[in-house]
Every structure is written in structure tokens, then in C-alpha cells.
Amino acid sequence: MCNVKWKGVYPALLTPFKEDDSVDFDMFKLNLDAQVSAGVDGIILGGSLGEASSLLNEEKRDLLIYAKETLDKDFPVIVNIAEQTTKAAVALAQDAEKNGADGLMLLPPMRYKSSDEETVEYFKTVARNTTLPIMIYNNPVDYKIEVTLDMFEELAKLDNIQSVKESTRDVTNVTRMFNRFGDRFKVLTGVDTLATESLCMGADGWVAGLVDAFPRETVAIFRLVKAGRIPEAVAIHRWFLPVLELDIHPKLVQYIKMAAVATGIGSEHVRAPRLKVTGAERAAVLKVIETALATRPELPDYLNLKMEEHATYA
């Protein structure tokens, strides 16, 4: 039985490194424990924030196995697939399934700007070669390929393509997906700065970035919206926004790692060619983080809120 509901908050986890460039599993567990305690609904490994492009396949596998051994049996662990070839994507998907992954987040082909037909065929081929449920990552801003409504019409023919990470930065696409497909696809917002708006328009979940540093505040916003307590969610969002904007910068990995250090659940080491942030840029980012920490809001008992099943608020 599939334990992935594609609802709630799914952190795109950072990959912490040690000074010698190896994966820091102790720090990974520290952050993972903070996410679970805060009430997240699943995790995503090896995404953009996880520095997927610089991870070896063996490291991705080790992170997956470690997470599955650490977490409760039914806690969803999603593995990101971001490959240059269909063959490599299929192999990684099958390896993830063999090692206990509960689902996949699937990006379009990397580097090559595939046509609509090629992109759909790529997605379909991966889906046909795994039984795992799949979330399509729709991010034309960063990856230059948009998965259109007509393309989703084709993808709807495969039962295990079940959801979308909506990162077009056009909030109206949440409504477009529901208007076209009803409840055929779960819609998860993928841009931190637009998350509250997207959730108010009925998005089922949030693939989050700053959750890596502020897990409780992130989950609180989601649950408050779904409980209909919009003014409280908006108040937290307004406090959070300057920090959330760190998620839409090319150096989002470095910035969010700095935030996770500041909240005590991360380390700042990144893998080259990325470098640590220095100078005036570093001072500016730290000011944003420190201001947020100095004014951090008191949260309600969000873990015990009664959420509405299909909450949509205009």
C-alpha cells in the first residue's frame, strides 16, 4: 500500500557535508529529527537544495538507506531524479525503488532543452519502469522547460504520475490544474515566497526550502491555512517573507545552509564549485536571518489543529 499522500509539507532536504567533503550523516540526522518533530509529512532527498548535481549516485543511495533505517517504516521518503538521459533516469529510479524509496520527484531532462513531445516521453518512460508514485517538477524558470496543461493531459494516462511540484511562479497555475483535472493530480507549491497564496488557493502541499532552517514555522503556516485560520498564517508569512526570499536566489543552497546554522540544525559546508558566501553579501544574508530570529513569532498549537480535507480559500 502506498504511503505517499502528496499532502502536507515535504522538505527538500539539504545535504550536509564535513570539512573533508564527505556527507555528514550526524548533521543529516539532527536536521531530520527536527523536521519530524515539527510535523512534516515526508522528505525529499537529492533535490536542488540537496546539491543533487554534485552528489555521486552512491551518496544518494546511502542517504536513502540511512533515512529509511532512521525513520518510522511508513514515513515517506521521496528521491529526486535529475538526469541527462532517459537511461540514467530509469536506472536511478529503479535503484531508488530497490533501496526502499516511497516515491520519486522527477525533473525534465537536464542540459538538453527537450521539446514537449520529448519531455512527455521521458516522463512516461521513467514511469513505466517503476511502480513508485511520481511527482513531476514543473520549474521552467530554473530548468527552461514548462510542463503545460496539455502535457499533463498525456501524463494523466499513467496512474503512478500522481502530483506536481508547481514552481512556475504563477499562482494561477494552481487553479488551472484543478480546473482542468479536478483531483487527478495533487498540487504541491514549490516556491517558498508563494506558498501561503498557493495553499489558500487549494494547493495540497508544500515542497519547502526554508523549512530546512525553520521547520516549525513552515508546518504551522500549512496547517493554519488548512484549518481556515488564515489571518494567523498570514501573520507568520509576513514575518517569514524576507527569509523565504533566500529560496529564490541562485545561491539558495549557501543561503539556506547559513540559516540552518543560525537555527542550530545545519552546517555551512558546500561542495565545489559552490563556495561559502563572504563579504558584503554574507553580511546582508546574515542580517536577514538575524532579524528573523530576533522577531521570531510565538506559534499556536498547530500540531493539534483540525484541518479540512479539501480546504480552498480565496
Distance CA 11, CA 188 (A): 12
Return the DSSP state at 108.
P
119-166 tens-digit pLDDT: 999 999 999 999 999 999 999 999 999 999 999 999 999 999 999 999
Does the domain at residues 8-298 carry the CATH identifier 3.20.20.70? yes
Question: Which residue from 236, 286, 294, 279 is spatially nearest to 260, judged by alpha carbons?
Answer: 286
273 exposure class (CB count in 10 Å sphere: 0-12, 13-18, 19+): exposed
Label residue 309 by pLDDT band (50, 70, 90): low
* Local structure of 23: helix, strand or coil: strand
Main-chain phi, psi angles of 14, to 5 degrees: -70, 155
CA 246 from centre of chain: 15
Residue-wise pLDDT tens digits, 25-79: 999 999 999 999 999 999 999 999 999 999 999 999 999 999 999 999 999 999 9
Contact criterion met (CB below 8 Å) for 112 and 143: no
| 3-class secondary structure, 201 | coil
On whether the CB atoms of residues 10 and 42 are closer than 8 A, the answer is yes
CA 82 to centroid of chain Cα atoms: 14
Query: What Å distances lie between residue 304 and 223, 227, 307, CA to CA?
Result: 9, 10, 9
Q: Please name every residue paired with 188 in a beta bridge, in sequence order, or none if there are none.
A: 165, 205
Model pTM score: 0.96
| pLDDT tens for each residue of 157-175 | 999 999 999 999 999 999 9
Phi, psi of 250 (to 5 degrees): -55, -25
- pLDDT of 310 reads 45
